Structures are given as structure tokens and as C-alpha cells.
Amino acid sequence: MMTNYGTPSRTFVSGKGCVLTDDQGRTYLDFLAGIATNVLGHAHPAVTKAVTKQISTLAHVSNFFAHPQGLLLASRLQKMTGDSNARVFFCNSGAEANEAALKISRRTGRSRIVATQGSFHGRTMGALSMTGQPSKREPFTPLLKGISHVPYGDLSAMSRAVSKKTAMVIVEPIMGEAGVITPEDGYLAGLRAICDRVGALLVFDCVQTGIGRTGQWFGFEHENVHPDVVTLAKGIGGGLPLGATIAYGRAAQLLQPGDHGTTFGGNPVACAAANAVLDVIENKKLMQSAKVFERKIKKGLSSTPGVADIRGRGLLLGIELSSPIAKELANAMLGAGVIVNAANERTIRIAPPLIVTTSQIDKFITTFKKVLKEVDHG
Ligand SMILES: Cc1ncc(COP(=O)(O)O)c(C=O)c1O
């Protein structure tokens, strides 16, 4: 394999619920879930059953034709938007979902885009052009023209950056890759007002914050705001590759036949997995439990020496450390059998499966405190 991911320190061979097993037989509590992807953990019986049934019935049809799992999933996503005019485009990843949003915005007849500094929207050239992280962009210039980046959370800067030439504004409701950066309440509604003033589309990239992770279907719903486009991936397929671009109202009519497409997007097997994921989240009330666990983790860790702050919502949390030891701490946690991620030098990001149990949360808190103490004093 190419060296783009660096050298992995573990090889995993199996998983069950929130526990992964490596090729040496060691087990790990998975508090990263494929970076906010395995919402039902590993080998969930509902996903396994749905995928097995679907692959033995119909694995693939071209996008010249429809199939029941895709239609069902599209109608469920439409229902979540509360907009009977909303329409869905299925693809395979978050980057592709954002590429589709970009192409929708071009169909407004405008081409400028405003995104935020520190944001992450994917690695394909369009998505990378919108990504606000210089280290990821610079090796690949020239990128798309006409895209500017303003500080996240700053409505005045956004207001100055947009004009009647702006096709779209794209923002993550919580910046995940940047270290789980949560904006102040009112930011998302403020973006809506700014976009309305100039007639620009408002796009929420919910690739990391969608599908129940923050305690609601989409990561923006704690504010009463209606975007024009929402992008999803990661959690929606419960581990299978699936992305979705949902456009509301007028924006849903912008793409014309022949404008866009992908061979595997909305594949029956991935859609069957997604329908199973939505069933379990609804039936087991996993969005409610995400909120309960958020409070438990915040309460359990907030007064721990070495923890400066805990950001985020539901089960997407960034634990800000008092010193820049996040990488060392994540490695030590792995050694202690718990998978977390160092989003930056000072932030540990956790995004466990939504099916995580109270005792697994307790185990995480205890291990985190112990390992942080060792690393901090070591
Ligand atoms: C907010 C956000 N958008 C887009 C992406 C890109 O998704 P993918 O890796 O599936 O292309 C990510 C991935 O981390 C993400 O967090």
C-alpha cells in the first residue's frame, strides 16, 4: 500500500459491538468507530442481516434504474428534512457528497464559494479547495479558483466575504477534524441570514456530525435553521461506503438530467445497511442516549487535572488538554486498550459507536484519567 497513511501500528481482524480484536488477539475498546463511522459498532446483527439479505437478492444495478432500498432511504432522509421538496443524490463518501454540493452551487450561475479556516471537506480536488487547512491544500495547488476562507465562528468576517457573486457558503456545524470546534449558539442561524441577504446557498457539511452522532439526525438541528444543502457520509452506511447530498426546496431542482453521477453511489447493499442503521437508531433511541453519555463524559472528566475543556455535542467530543501531549496520550491509550484520536497537539477526539454501554463509558473515563496522569507526569 502507498505511504499516504503512514505506517499503521495495529492490524484489526474482527470486531463485535464496541470492541476490536487485532491480529495478536489483543482487544481494544473502540472510542473512534472508524472516525465517527461505525455508529452501530462492529458486526451489528441488524446491519449484518440487512447486508446479507440484500447481497443475496440484488447487489448492484446501474443508476439508469431504481431499487427499493435506495427509494426507501431517500424518502426517509427527505422526511428528516421536513421538506417534501427535498431531493437526495447518493454517492460513496464525504468528499463526493461535497463535490455534488459544489456542482449544485455552480448551477445557480454563480461560482464563488466561502468556507471556513480549519475546516475539512475531503481530499478530492473540489472538496480540498473548500478545505481550510493549508497543510493539506498547499502540496496540491493550483486548486479551484474563487474560494475564500474566513475564521470559523466569525459572522462579521463571513458577512464581509460574501457578495451577490457567492454561489454557496459551506460550513461544518461542528468542525470535527480541526479538533471538535463548536461555534457559539446563533452562528448557524447567522449564516442563514447572511446567505439570504446575497442569495447564496447555505451548505452544512454534516459528514462527521450527521446520523445521530450529536444527539440529533443532523449536526445543525439544535438551532432552528434550514440549510439549502446537507452533506452526509461516514455514519450513514454503518461501515459501508455511502454518502448523500440532500438539497432542499429550490436547490433540489438545480441539477439537471446528465449533470452528475457515479456508478456505485446509492448501491443497494450500502442502502440496505443505511436503512438498518436508521431503524436501530430510532428503535433503540440512540440519539437520546448520545446526549446522556455526553453529560456523563463531560461530568466524569471536566475536573480532571490536565483537562482544560471538553467541547462538542452528543458522542462527538474533543477533550482539550492543558499541555500539547495529545499524540503521546492517544498512543498510551492504545497501549492500554482504548482507541482514541489526537485531532491536534492538544485535543483528544472521541466518537464511539452510538451503541456504547454505560460500563464501557465508565471504563473509558477510568482509563483516560489513569493514562493521562501517567503521560502528564512521565
Ligand atoms: C466534515 C467532513 N467532511 C468531509 C469529509 C470527507 O469524507 P470522506 O473521507 O468520506 O471523503 C470528512 C472526513 O473526515 C469530514 O469530517
115 and 253 assigned to the same domain: yes
Distance 155 CA to ligand 1 centre (A): 24
| The predicted structure's pLDDT at residue 28 | 98
Does the C-beta of 293 come closer than 6 Å to ligand 1?
Answer: no
Determine what percent of the chain is predicted with pLDDT higher than 90.
99
153 and 199 assigned to the same domain: yes
Residue ending a domain, among 233, 256, 283, is 283
Residue ending a domain, among 257, 283, 309, is 283
The Cα–Cα gap between 208 and 265 comes to 19
273 and 342 assigned to the same domain: no
pLDDT, tens digit (0-9, with 9 covering 90-100), for 286-304:
999 999 999 999 999 999 9
Distance 38 CA to ligand 1 centre (A): 14
| The predicted structure's pLDDT at residue 74 | 98
**Quick count: other Cβ atoms within 10 Å of Cβ 277?**
29
pLDDT tops 80 at residue 378: no
Does the C-beta of 208 come closer than 6 Å to ligand 1?
Answer: yes
254 and 113 assigned to the same domain: yes
Residue ending a domain, among 266, 283, 300, is 283
Give mean pLDDT, residues 83-89: 98
**Mutation probe of ligand 1 site: the residue of 120, 204, 232 with most atoms within 8 A of C-beta:** 120
274 and 322 assigned to the same domain: no
Does the C-beta of 119 come closer than 6 Å to ligand 1?
Answer: no
Determine what percent of the chain is predicted with pLDDT higher than 70.
100
Distance 93 CA to ligand 1 centre (A): 7
66 and 168 assigned to the same domain: yes
134 and 216 assigned to the same domain: yes
Residue 37: closest CA among 264, 242, 276, 221: 242
pLDDT mean across residues, the chain = 97
94 and 210 assigned to the same domain: yes
Does the C-beta of 219 come closer than 6 Å to ligand 1?
Answer: no
pLDDT tops 80 at residue 223: yes
The Cα–Cα gap between 244 and 205 comes to 11
The CATH number given to whatever domain includes residue 350 is 3.90.1150.10
61 and 164 assigned to the same domain: yes
- Amino acid letter at 303? S
93 and 202 assigned to the same domain: yes
Q: What is the DSSP letter of 238?
A: B
The residue segments making up the domain with residue 304 are 3-43+285-377
pLDDT, tens digit (0-9, with 9 covering 90-100), for 192-220:
999 999 999 999 999 999 999 999 999 99
53 and 202 assigned to the same domain: yes
Query: Phi, psi (5° rounding) for residue 273?
Result: -60, -45
Distance 56 CA to ligand 1 centre (A): 30
The CATH number given to whatever domain includes residue 248 is 3.40.640.10
The Cα–Cα gap between 316 and 307 comes to 17
pLDDT tops 90 at residue 270: yes
Query: Phi, psi (5° rounding) for residue 232?
Result: -135, 155
Does the C-beta of 89 come closer than 6 Å to ligand 1?
Answer: no
277 and 327 assigned to the same domain: no
pLDDT tops 80 at residue 311: yes
Does the C-beta of 181 come closer than 6 Å to ligand 1?
Answer: no
pLDDT, tens digit (0-9, with 9 covering 90-100), for 319-376:
999 999 999 999 999 999 999 999 999 999 999 999 999 999 999 999 999 999 999 8
**Confidence (pTM):** 0.98
Ligand 1: which atom is nearest the Cα of residue 172? 1
pLDDT tops 80 at residue 242: yes
How many domains, in total, are found in the chain?
A: 2
148: β partners:
114
pLDDT tops 80 at residue 98: yes
